[in-house]
Amino acid sequence: MRAIRLKEVIQKVGLGESTIYRMIAEGRFPRPFEIVPKRNAWIESDIDDWLAERAGKREATPQTQPA
């Protein structure tokens, strides 16, 4: 498992920061987690799964919301 920061997520998916955060708020993009205070990251496989789903390679799986 590998954690990636926003800069790498942006590069990987080809979307801008504001678009990514808007899609997170809408529940249409994987949520990051806090690795240390005020530093967020994503699990790379979550981003890969999201990309595969968008490309029609996998069925959609519901995004989990933090408690």
- Please, what are the averages of pLDDT over each run of 10 residues along the chain (67 residues)? 97 97 97 95 97 80 53
Contact 63, 30 (CB under 8 A): yes
Strand partners, 40: 34
Dihedral of the alpha carbons of 7, 45, 13, 8, in degrees to the nearest 10 = 10
**Per this entry, what is the length of the chain?**
67
Q: What is the pTM of this model?
A: 0.79
Rounded Cα distance between 7 and 61, Å, is 24
Domain boundaries, the chain: 3-54
